[in-house]
Structure 1
Amino acid sequence: MISGILVATLRGDILLSRYFRNDLTHSMNQLFKIKVILRSDNEDLAPVNQFGPASFMHIKVEDFFVAAMTAENTNSLLVFEFLYKFVDILRSYFGEKLNSKKFQSHFVMIHEILEEIMDFGHPQITDVDTLKLYITQGKINPAKLMKEEKVKKITNTATGMTPWRSPDISYKKNELWIDVIEKINLLISHQGVILKSDVEGEIQLTSNLSGMPHCEFGMNDKLLVEKEKSKGKKATTDSIAFDDFSFHKCVKLSTFKNDRVVSFVPPDGVFTLMSYRATELLSLPYRIVSQVKYTTASHLEYEVTVASEYPTKLFGIKVTIKIPTPPDTAVCKINLKSHRTVGRPSMMLSRGLSCGR
């Protein structure tokens, strides 16, 4: 697994070095400094490199490098996931803006965090809320911290089946909100032909539930349709075809694999339950056709036609159309030909960008 973690500045100064196993020595710090940091072409260097007996996997954050070293054939994706998670934990403690000065100011606490999230080279507790139960900033009252109930709560949360949720959460009114947020990426030719399209979506939940609730909801995605076809059932036409998707760690993957049911014990508050991407059977909200004409050497005309594709019972609000213009654009005029548009367009010129609403 991971033999050591190294944090160094862009000049090669070592900010933090922690080795968890005995298969590598501290000389790997200088090896990483010479082979990676001080190289003239380090911008083009691959994130995974092997020098001597060690493999180095590093990421660049602000003005420093965070690197993991290993002497074994380790899953690199797992290592990178840990490195980014380590950075997220530090940002939750010390703010979004991380720099080398914060490593120097909070050296002891960062070492303490690293000791808790890594055990003999194996990642363990990486949940921020759980870490903040016993790794805190500021003054601590030992008498309050060492109460038996407090210690029991921390132990159960850190070692239990659901470290992302405490069992003593209570609300007068139990509520759960589900928001589906989708972003459509679309590439259209000047003739109106769709060249490329995909949807990136997230299912966000806001959980205000008491105790340890167990939630479930079913999904009618493409994998379920194929399973129904194998059983002789007729597939529905409104099925969802996901190209790839990922779940929050609270989701039971075995249940989803067997029954196609998303089963989970939700964290408290707002969280992203699922992220997905789809490229098939997309229903685009608008059809866009554009033409560009140079009438004179200094005059440019855009003709953009936007037609809605959704039913007439639905309507779009806060629709923004951004049209890029040349950097030296001085004057922009917008004319609407459709009398069915509600409201008047607004226009803004900033760095060659013209926006109309």
Structure 2
Amino acid sequence: MKSFLSGMPECKLGLSYPSTSSKTPKGTEKPSVENTLAEFQFHQCVRLRQFNQNKAISFVPPDGQFELMRYHFKATQKPPFTLYPVVPKPGPDSQVLNIMVTIKSNYLSKYSATNVKVNIPVPKNTTGCSTNSSISNRAKYSPETNSVVWTIPKFSGNSEHTIDVKVKLSKKEKHDDWQRPPITVSFKLSMLSMSGLQVKFLQIQETGNYKSGK
């Protein structure tokens, strides 16, 4: 959080917590999502007594940027994306390596991730790559990082995409020691909280002649 407020106004942050209980189709209770939120840690400006009483966070923000709170989410839940890679290990005399990667989104269809980048490592003796994907083919081979970077500008929820990568290998260099490094994914996904914890409101308690402003 970064404060642009002048003076010492008191602020109140209201949070929307996950439901305290739920039922399975057979009517049996399953663990509460709220009970999976633990280990709250607050900045020293937070009034802890009020939080313990009504779960509202009251504080007088310090100047500049600061971390208001952090918490630990203990529930077992699917990550935003699941990868299904097929990456065979090339033989000692292989000149071509065929890689296939499918990425599936696990969030609801009303959400969309943007600027999704899938980084697919390739052997160091790669001389070139050709790609074919189920969505706009924005994939490039990066010799500097020994990887193919597959960019998906917008990724809707409950959907999946697949890319086929044909890797050309040099005969002059060996690739026996290539350990198939992990595939990494970076993305931006706004308005979605995997823990279910969301901000309801942020109030500035104005007193006297104080006027809030940036």
Partner of 1:215: 11
Instruction: Give secondary structure in 2 for the equivalent of 1:211.
Output: coil
Report what 1:260 is aligned to.
55
Equivalences for 1:38-77 in 2 at 5 Å?
none
CA change 1:299–1:235 in 2 (3 A) is: closer
Gaps of at least 5 residues in structure 2 are 22-28, 152-214
2:87 aligned partner: 292
2:47 aligned with 1:248: no
Is the Cα contact below 8 Å between 2:140 and 2:148 reproduced in 1?
A: no
2: distance between equivalents of 1:325 and 1:240?
43
The one-letter code of the counterpart of 2:14 is G
1:60-89 CA deviation, whole Å, 9 max, x = no partner?
Answer: xxxxxxxxxxxxxxxxxxxxxxxxxxxxxx
Q: CA deviation at 1:220?
A: 5.1
Structure 1 stretches of 5 or more lacking a match? 1-204, 227-233
CA separation in 1, counterparts of 2:41 and 2:89? 47
User: What aligned pairs does 1:309-348 form with structure 2 within 5 A after superposition?
Assistant: 309-336=106-133, 338=134, 341-342=135-136, 344-348=138-142
Distance 1:218 1:240 in 2: 18
Residues paired across the two proteins, number:
142
Higher RCO structure (Cα 8 Å, ≥6 apart): 2
Runs of 4+ in 1 over 4 A off after TM superposition: 234-238
Q: Percent identity?
A: 30
Partners of 1:313 and 1:342 lie apart in 2 by 21
* Correspondence 1:1-357 to 2 at 5 A: 205-219=1-15, 225=20, 239=34, 241-294=36-89, 297-336=94-133, 338=134, 341-342=135-136, 344-357=138-151
Does the residue aligned with 2:53 lie in a helix, a strand or coil? helix
Distance 1:278 1:238, change over 3 A: closer
What CA distance in whole angstroms lies between the structure 1 residues aligned with 2:66 and 2:105?
A: 32
- 1:320 positional shift: 0.7
* Aligned equivalents of 2:16, 2:109: Cα separation in 1: 26
Cα pair distance change 1:345/1:327, threshold 3 Å = closer
Point out the structure with the larger strand share: 2
Separation in structure 2 between the aligned mates of residue 350 and residue 211 of structure 1, nearest angstrom? 50
Report the residue type matching 1:347 in the other structure.
Y
Deviations for 1:170-196, whole angstroms, at most 9, x for unmatched residues? xxxxxxxxxxxxxxxxxxxxxxxxxxx
SS at match of 2:139: coil
Structure 1 residues 343, 316: closer, same or farther in 2, change over 3 A?
farther
CA distance in 1, matches of 2:35, 2:131: 39
Find the structure with the greater CA-based Rg: 1
Q: How far has the Cα of 1:256 moved from its partner? A: 2.1
Aligned to 2:185: none
Could you tell me the TM-score, scaled by structure 1's length? 0.34
Higher helix share: 1
**Whole-Å separation in 2 of the counterparts to 1:292 and 1:308:** 20
Q: Give, in angstroms, the shift of residue 266 of structure 1.
A: 0.8
2-structure distance, mates of 1:277, 1:323: 30
8 Å CA contact 2:33–2:75 kept in 1: the answer is no
Q: Secondary structure at the match of 1:306?
A: strand
Alpha-carbon spacing, 1:235–1:326, altered in 2? closer, same or farther (3 Å): closer
Please tell me whether the aligned partners of residues 83 and 101 of structure 2 are also in contact (alpha carbons under 8 angstroms): yes
Q: TM-score normalized by structure 2?
A: 0.53
